[in-house]
Amino acid sequence: MVIKSVKLNNFRSHESFVLECDPHTTKIVGENGCGKTSLLEAIYEAMQGKSFRAVDREIVRRGDEFYRVELQYEDGRKTIVMFDGEKKEFLVEDKKTRRLPKKAKYPIVLFEPDDLNLVGSSPTSRRNYFDRMFGQLSEKYNVALLKYNKALKQRNELLKREVVDAGDVFSWDVLLTKYGSELRNERAEYIGWISEKITEVYRSIAENTDEVAVEYVTEVESESGFLARLERDFERDRLLGHTSFGVHRDNYEFVFNGVRADGSASRGEVRSMVIALKFIEAEMIVECLGRPPVVLLDDVFSELDETRQRCLVKNFQSNQIFLTSVGEGRL
């Protein structure tokens, strides 16, 4: 699905703006702070149903009460996002909905400068990164993650009460076990898929013989063990006021030539790993969903040398690309 144009009203710093899109590569050039990333954010929201960096109230242009995004495709279809200060609605094929319909969603590979720090980032940042990645590949994953987080929030609220016993949290333990086990299984499957590919893809970028892997680190071994551990740790969790065991504490480790990449791999080697991961993400989207993703590159060329820049362009040549870059003038 090729994007023809993007129209914004009161979106971030843009009072009114129209971006006419190239079917292959659209380069958005401007000084820092002029609203380049906001255009990528608008595209992401219209194709995924939510922003990748903020809640709706933060997106509305200062002094205004609403925002609107209109994405027009080359086949004539449109997706319109409207937020009136209280609620958000989507208009797709003349039908209004509170959520973007599944059939109107389109996969995206998003590349931000912070992604280049993924290898050395916190476990929470890596979990969030892979949750977003896996959520595009599987609606089942998204549902399980949503229900797991809801159950986790409810259990934690109960644990903060002055008086609570194991029976009060048992129903939430069961839900955490059910959805946590689903997440654990899908994460293990996807990471296995990535690890099978990443060395070969990395070598095509770095042009060497290094070995690279991504390891999924979890304490959850089985569904029955998950429930037993929650029950066993109840008293400890009650004293702490939160749930100390579960897939919300999972981690992902990048391994370089048999040791942790964080601290052993150079800056250039780390960047090649992250680029390789992006290429694999695009491949997985095509294999799982049967569609080439739209690629959003947010000011990453300034962080990459010429060799890696060329590699990005070459590997994404079959995708529609939106690229932001610092330059003279304003949008």
Q: In three state form, how does the secondary structure of the chain look?
A: CCEEEEEEEEECCEEEEEEECCCCEEEEEECCCCCHHHHHHHHHHHHHCCCCCCCHHHHECCCCCCEEEEEEECCCCEEEEEECCCCEEEEECCEEECCCCHHHCCCEEEECHHHHHHHHCCHHHHHHHHHHHHHHHCHHHHHHHHHHHHHHHHHHHHHCCCCCCHHHHHHHHHHHHHHHHHHHHHHHHHHHHHHHHHHHHHHHHHCCCCCEEEEEECCCCCHHHHHHHHHHCHHHHHHHCCCCCCHHHCEEEEEECCEECCCCCCHHHHHHHHHHHHHHHHHHHHHHHCCCCEEEEECCHHHCCHHHHHHHHHHCCCCCEEEEEECCCCC
Residue 331 pLDDT greater than 80, yes or no:
no
Residue 296 pLDDT greater than 60, yes or no:
yes
With CA atoms as reference, report the closest residue to 148 among 220, 252, 228, 48. Answer: 220
The percent of residues above 90 in pLDDT, for the chain, comes to 89
> pLDDT tens digit string along 40-93?
999 999 999 999 999 999 999 999 999 999 999 999 999 999 999 999 999 999
Q: Which pair of structure tokens corresponds to residue 289?
A: 């969903």
Question: Helix 166-206 vs helix 123-137: angle between axes, to the nearest 10 degrees?
Answer: 80
Output the pLDDT for position 254.
97
Mean confidence (pLDDT) of the chain: 94
Return the ∠ at Cα 101 (arms to 99 and 106), rounded to 5°: 110
* Residues comprising the chain, all counted: 331
Output the pLDDT for position 1.
79
| pLDDT confidence tier of residue 301, bands split at 50, 70 and 90 | confident
Q: Which pair of structure tokens corresponds to residue 127?
A: 């979990």
| pLDDT confidence tier of residue 329, bands split at 50, 70 and 90 | very low
The percent of residues above 70 in pLDDT, for the chain, comes to 98
| pLDDT confidence tier of residue 115, bands split at 50, 70 and 90 | very high
Q: Which pair of structure tokens corresponds to residue 193?
A: 């898929």
> pLDDT tens digit string along 152-165?
999 999 999 999 99
Output the pLDDT for position 29.
92
Question: What are the angstrom distances between the C-alpha of 191 and each of 183, 213, 280?
Answer: 12, 9, 11
Output the pLDDT for position 313.
86
Output the pLDDT for position 193.
96
d(CA 100, CA 80): 10
With CA atoms as reference, report the closest residue to 146 among 179, 101, 194, 106. Answer: 179
Output the pLDDT for position 328.
47
Residue 327 pLDDT greater than 80, yes or no:
no
Q: Please state the rounded mean pLDDT for residues 285-305.
A: 93
> pLDDT tens digit string along 129-140?
999 999 999 999
> pLDDT tens digit string along 228-273?
999 999 999 999 999 999 999 999 999 999 999 998 999 999 999 9
Label the pairing between strands 294-298 and 321-326. Answer: parallel
| pLDDT confidence tier of residue 216, bands split at 50, 70 and 90 | very high
Q: Which pair of structure tokens corresponds to residue 61?
A: 């242009």
Contact 24, 320 (CB under 8 A): yes
Q: Please state the rounded mean pLDDT for residues 174-194.
A: 97
d(CA 149, CA 298): 29
Domains of the chain: 3-106+293-326 (3.40.50.300), 120-283 (1.20.1050.90)
Comparison of pLDDT for 327 and 9, the residue scoring more? 9
d(CA 268, CA 276): 12
